[in-house]
Each structure stands twice: as structure tokens, then as C-alpha cells.
């Protein structure tokens, strides 16, 4: 059986105001062709299908048109779980209809853990795979809050809740395997942050839980899992160096920090319960480049790109000592007549640093809610020793607000 593991599409995401629908369309067209080429039996999407809980009509059109094409291929099943960016209710809304086409959606945990245990069948209706389709586990799903809890107590409860949920679902999967035959492999999904994981600047990845839960160990997952398909982190990587526990990573560079990263999908093949993994490299559908340095370095690199006929989107980080008047205008003049586009200019000159935290040319749209808070801490000269606790409280507040928004749906 051939499984294609992917995650973190973030359909509908913009890059500093630049829409990326054409790029996403090119990726989805390539993905359909890849499914056909490798005769994929199961496509597994481990969360963050959309970038927003209220995706645009065009992002939805991309999604449904893709599913329409996939069900016409050799791919017998599609399993999609919700990530922290996805709306559980939105993702689940067409679940009954799509199940008729063997598209299985799990947007949130339910009162019955058996809802997350999927027994997938081959063309002759014989069981061939069991999927523990565990979605992103929200705080309220796995922890009962109590007044007066310390941060450490909350963390311990969350870790215990995540471990307990996986043990419960995996135990049900083992029962199903005992019913149908010991040769059936068990695949589990997840959307979370594990210990020692690699992230990059500008990938938009933040801790999903309060405190140190970005450091969940690989030992939290039951040993009966033959392949663990994770989402949330954008860098393709193993979990704890284990071959059959992986993040597929995002298929597109979500920000300029990922511009030079090689993107891939995981092709998983089973011989009974033994998984082997091969990486399939994803083409780069839109060139991104971050250019840093003095003016001469920046101008030189732009000149090289222009000579090569580049169509790149650029982020310019000026790091010179001298303050340059009209920096943006001078940069625009360098790319005039080329196919390149400058999406962001960051001016980090010493002069600007001396006049304060606000940087010329920077807008609020370029900062996320964490960066804004960190700037506020710096602006008000909050002591460094006090900042970690304030950041934890701020993160918890945002998490509670996000959960309230989901309930309001």
C-alpha cells in the first residue's frame, strides 16, 4: 500500500499582501499528477489545510476542485485532519457527503474516540489499513481547567491529556487490528510540536500550548503505531531521529525564512506492518529570495538575478551603517524592467536602531501578534527576567480567545 503524507498547505495564505492562488493551483495540479504517477492509495493531510478558519471562496474552490480530481485517480482514500489554523466546524461541514467518495474528515475530537479510528478497505472491500486520525488537540479537549493552577500544573495536565488521548485511540485501533488480522498496519496522525524539532525564521510556527509543551517527546506516542504522520512544523524532519515518525513539512515556502528550504512529501509503503519512507521533492512554483547586507551586496545580487531572468519575489534586509534616503525608491529602480517584485523592505541600519524600535517602511501588517507584544515589552523596558512569564500568560490568553472564536462558530 502506498501512502502520500503531506500537511500545512495553508491554502489562501498571502505573503505581505501578495496573493498566492496561482502558486497553490500549480502545486495542487502537480500533486494530482504525482498521485497518478506513483499510484497512491491513500492521501493523508496532517492539518492546516487552510491558512484561516474562514477561508476565501477562491481557497475553497481550489480545495474542492482538487478533491474532485483526486477521487478520479487510483487514490482510494483521502484522510484530512484539522490543524490549529483550520476551523473544525468548517472542515467537518461536508463530512457526510465527502465520505461517500472515501474522503474522510476529522475536524475535532468527539465524545466517542472510535470516531477517530478509520478502517480503510481495498477495492474488494477487505480491510487494508487502520488510521488513528487524531486532529489538533485543543486545550479544552484534553484538560479540565481548575482555579489556582500554576503554569507547571497546566503543562503536566496537558501532557497527560495528549498522552492519554493517543493511548485511548491507539488501544481501539489495536482492537480493530485483532479483529481483522495482525498484518494490518496502524497509521496515526497529529498536529503538534515535538521535542528537538527544527523551525526557521518567518515560518509562522508558534507553540500550540502554554509553556514548554513545544517539547513533547517521541515517547508520548504508543508503540503500536507503525507510521506517525505529523503536521504543524514546516521543515521536513524525523521525530527524534525515528524513521517512521515524521513531519512532512509544508509543500510551499510559507515565508522568506523558508526560501532556500527543500520541500518534500513523504511516500510511505508498507510490507505488512513494516513502513519504508521515500521523500518526493516538491518543485518550487514561485522563487523567493531574501537579500541581506550593505547596499553594494544588495545591488550586486539583484543584478545577478536580473541577468538570469529571475521572476523572484524579494525580501530586502538592509544592514548597512549609513542611513539611505529613499531606500525603497532606489530598490524599485534596480528591478525596473525585470520580472522581479519586492514584497518587503526591512531597514536595519544603526541609525534607525538608535532612534527606536519602529523601523522605517515597516507596517503593522508585517508583524504577528507575538511580535507586536514583544515590541511592547521592549518599548516599555520590561526587565528580561519578567518577560517569559508575561509571554506565557499572553500566549494562554490568545489560546483562550481562539477557542472562544471556534465555539462561536
Confidence tier at 322 by pLDDT (50, 70, 90): confident
Please state the rounded mean pLDDT for residues 5-19: 95
Distance between CA atoms of 299 and 304, rounded to whole angstroms?
A: 9
The pLDDT value given to residue 36: 97
Residue 242 has pLDDT above 60, yes or no: yes
Residues 6+ positions from 216 with CB-CB distance below 8 Å: 159, 162, 192, 193, 194, 195
Residue 64 has pLDDT above 70, yes or no: yes
Distance between CA atoms of 92 and 208, rounded to whole angstroms?
A: 21
Q: What is the DSSP secondary structure assignment for residue 54, as one 8-state letter? A: S
Rg (CA), the chain: 23
Q: Which of 104, 224, 245, 84 is nearest to 168 (CA)?
A: 224
Confidence tier at 373 by pLDDT (50, 70, 90): confident
Give Dmax over CA atoms of the chain in angstroms. Answer: 73
Please state the rounded mean pLDDT for residues 84-97: 94
- With beta carbons less than 8 A apart as the criterion, state whether 230 and 194 touch: yes
Kindly tell me the burial class for residue 292, based on how many C-beta atoms sit within 10 Å of its own C-beta (0-12, 13-18, 19 or more): middle
May I ask the CATH architecture of the domain 2-281?
4-Layer Sandwich (3.60)
Kindly tell me the burial class for residue 247, based on how many C-beta atoms sit within 10 Å of its own C-beta (0-12, 13-18, 19 or more): buried
Confidence tier at 213 by pLDDT (50, 70, 90): very low
| In 178-321, beta strands by DSSP E | 186-191, 227-231, 237-239, 242-247, 264-271, 274-281, 288-293, 313-318
Please state the rounded mean pLDDT for residues 194-223: 67
Residue 93 has pLDDT above 90, yes or no: yes
Whole-structure pTM over 0.75, yes or no? yes
Residue 161 has pLDDT above 50, yes or no: yes
Q: What is the grid cell recorded at 32?
A: 494530482
Residue 361 has pLDDT above 60, yes or no: no
Distance between CA atoms of 377 and 382, rounded to whole angstroms?
A: 5
Count CB atoms within 10 A of the CB of residue 85.
23
Domain residue ranges in the chain: 2-281, 288-405
The pLDDT value given to residue 164: 92
The pLDDT value given to residue 24: 97
- With beta carbons less than 8 A apart as the criterion, state whether 207 and 62 touch: no
Count CB atoms within 10 A of the CB of residue 309.
9
Q: In whole numbers, what is the pLDDT of the chain averaged over residues?
A: 87
What are the tens digits of pLDDT across the range 38-58?
Answer: 999 999 999 999 999 999 999
Q: Which residues of 189-209 are buried (b: 16+ CB within 10 A; e: fewer)?
A: bbbbbbeebebbebbbbebbb
- Residues facing residue 15 across a β-bridge: 18
CATH topology of domain 288-405: Double Stranded RNA Binding Domain (3.30.160)
Q: What is the grid cell recorded at 166?
A: 493517543
Q: Which of 259, 254, 137 is nearest to 190 (CA)?
A: 137
Q: Is 208 left (phi over 0), alpha (psi -120 to 50) or beta?
A: alpha
Confidence tier at 190 by pLDDT (50, 70, 90): very high
Amino acid at each position: 500500500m502506498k501512502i502520500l503524507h503531506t500537511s500545512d498547505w495553508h491554502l489562501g495564505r498571502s505573503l505581505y499582501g501578495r496573493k498566492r492562488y496561482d502558486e497553490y493551483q500549480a502545486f495542487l495540479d502537480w500533486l494530482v499528477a504525482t498521485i497518478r504517477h506513483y499510484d497512491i492509495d491513500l492521501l493523508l493531510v496532517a492539518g492546516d489545510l487552510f491558512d484561516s478558519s474562514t477561508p476565501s471562496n477562491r481557497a475553497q474552490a481550489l480545495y474542492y476542485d482538487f478533491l474532485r480530481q483526486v477521487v478520479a485517480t487510483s487514490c482510494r482514500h483521502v484522510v484530512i485532519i484539522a490543524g490549529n489554523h483550520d476551523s473544525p466546524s468548517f472542515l467537518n461541514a461536508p463530512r457526510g457527503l465527502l465520505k461517500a467518495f472515501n474522503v474522510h474528515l476529522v475536524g475535532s475530537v468527539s465524545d466517542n474516540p472510535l470516531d477517530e479510528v478509520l478502517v480503510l478497505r481495498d477495492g474488494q472491500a477487505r480491510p487494508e489499513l487502520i488510521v488513528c486520525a487524531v486532529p489538533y488537540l485543543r486545550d479544552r479537549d484534553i484538560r479540565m481547567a481548575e482555579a489556582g493552577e500554576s503554569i507547571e500544573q497546566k503543562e503536566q495536565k496537558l501532557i497527560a491529556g495528549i498522552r492519554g488521548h493517543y493511548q485511548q485511540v491507539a488501544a481501539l485501533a489495536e482492537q480493530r487490528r485483532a479483529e481483522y488480522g495482525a498484518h494490518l498496519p496502524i497509521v496515526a496522525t497529529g498536529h503538534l510540536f515535538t521535542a528537538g524539532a527544527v523551525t526557521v525564521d518567518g515560518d509562522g510556527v508558534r507553540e500550540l500550548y502554554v509553556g514548554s509543551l513545544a517539547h513533547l517527546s517521541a515517547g508520548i506516542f504508543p508503540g503500536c503505531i507503525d507510521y506517525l504522520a505529523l503536521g504543524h512544523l514546516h521543515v521536513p524532519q524525523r521525530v527524534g531521529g525515528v524513521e517512521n515518525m515524521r513531519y512532512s513539512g509544508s509543500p510551499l515556502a510559507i515565508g522568506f525564512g523558508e526560501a532556500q528550504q527543500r520541500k518534500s512529501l513523504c511516500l510511505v509503503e508498507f510490507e505488512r506492518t513494516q513502513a519504508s519512507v521515500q521523500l518526493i521533492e516538491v518543485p518550487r512554483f514561485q522563487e523567493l529570495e531574501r537579500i541581506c547586507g550593505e547596499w553594494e551586496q544588495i545591488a550586486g545580487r539583484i543584478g545577478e538575478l536580473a541577468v538570469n531572468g529571475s521572476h523572484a519575489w524579494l525580501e530586502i534586509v538592509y544592514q548597512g551603517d549609513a542611513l539611505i534616503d529613499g531606500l525603497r525608491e532606489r530598490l524599485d529602480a534596480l528591478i525596473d524592467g525585470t520580472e522581479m517584485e519586492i514584497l518587503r523592505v526591512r531597514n536595519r541600519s544603526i541609525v534607525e536602531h538608535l532612534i527606536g524600535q519602529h523601523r522605517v517602511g515597516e507596517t503593522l501588517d508585517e508583524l504577528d501578534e507575538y511580535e507586536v507584544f514583544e515590541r511592547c515589552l521592549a518599548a516599555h523596558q520590561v526587565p528580561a527576567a519578567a518577560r517569559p512569564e508575561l509571554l506565557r500568560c499572553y500566549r494562554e490568553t490568545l489560546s483562550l480567545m481562539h477557542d472562544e472564536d471556534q465555539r462561536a462558530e
